[in-house]
Structure 1
Amino acid sequence: MTISKFSLTLTAVALSLSAFNANAVPRTGNEHVIRYDRGGYVIDYAIDMLKMEKSRRLVKFAGRCDSACTIYLGLNKAQTCITTAAKFGFHLPFGSDRRGNQVAASFMMKKYPKWVHKWLEASGGLSAKLKVMPYSYASQYIKPCEGRTNMTQQASF
């Protein structure tokens, strides 16, 4: 069995993310606004997610967040907010070898909260076709951005 470099790297990032205690890190940084993010390599988004967890940056979903971008839905609820323009596009990972794509899909599914799993199951599961989660569903689980300030200002040490 051949394990790709991508699979090993993604596994290492997954272990780092699962072992990381975000509560031990002080809240700093600015907001990260997502308006039209078509996604990209899962490994890049996994690394960005780790950085965001460490910095406690507020992530504002203010538009399209597709593909690997949806990994940010796995951030702490206090670290995210949503506007009415937000929607989320899901599909099976592609672009690596078969094993790498399986590892990427498994990693992302582990990061998603239960409410995302519920929506995906009700929508027929992940497939090659893009499935779009509307604001009306996601807003039941993500707080609205109106009146939110960055995480530094919300800190109460």
Structure 2
Amino acid sequence: MRITPLALLLFVSLAVTPARASLHITNDHGGYVEEYKARYKRIRDSRERVIIDGVCNSACTLVFGIVPLNKICVTPRASVGFHQAYYDKAFTFGIKVTSAEGTADLMSYYPDTVKDWIRRNGGLTTEMKKIRNGVDLWKIVDPCPEEF
């Protein structure tokens, strides 16, 4: 079998091209916890990377407990927000009602670094508690390489 210069060039370019993230989070304000669990388990199982490049609030933060932290990175635009879990408003007549069970479930997924930050900042409450990029966020997950 003969390798042509074009085939060699194609092979080399594929070998040195950085892997693409399967999930690029830029403006995610959360949603149904079970949907996020399923999504992140698929990402984890496929061994793809996650780039947080903007807002990742509420159920979005489950990424830290399901996807291995070495497969996640944050850009300078990253911001993550945590709060207590709520029951679906469809079952509470449109009123926000916190769920102790749901909040405990969320906490059970988070790694110790996230739990420690939450504890140091007064625990989960109805108010959104945010970590904007910087040292606190880098204690949880690494910054993305410059190519992102």
TM-score interval, smaller chain: 0.7 to 0.9
Give unpaired runs (5+ residues) of structure 2.
1-18, 93-97
Aligned residues: 122
* Larger Rg computed on CA atoms: 2
CA distance in 2, matches of 1:108, 1:117: 10
Q: Is 1:76 aligned with 2:68? A: yes
Give the secondary-structure state (helix, strand or coil) at the position aligned to 1:81. Answer: strand
1:55 alignment partner in structure 2: 46
Q: Once the 2 structures are TM-superposed, how far is the Cα of residue 103 of structure 1 from its aligned partner?
A: 3.0
1:62-97 deviation line (CA, Å, top 9, x unaligned): 111000000001121221011111111111111336
1:39-59 deviation line (CA, Å, top 9, x unaligned): 001011011111111111101
When normalised by structure 2's length, the TM-score is: 0.73
Root mean square deviation, CA, Å? 2.5
Alignment counterpart, residue 84 of structure 2, candidates 92, 106, 113: 92
1:110 alignment partner in structure 2: 108
2:119 alignment partner in structure 1: 121
Give the secondary-structure state (helix, strand or coil) at the position aligned to 1:43. Answer: helix
Give the secondary-structure state (helix, strand or coil) at the position aligned to 2:99. Answer: helix
Q: Is 1:36 aligned with 2:41? A: no
Give unpaired runs (5+ residues) of structure 1.
1-27, 150-157
AA of the residue aligned to 1:122: R
Q: Which has the higher contact order (CA 8 A, sep 6+)?
A: 1
Give the secondary-structure state (helix, strand or coil) at the position aligned to 2:118. Answer: helix
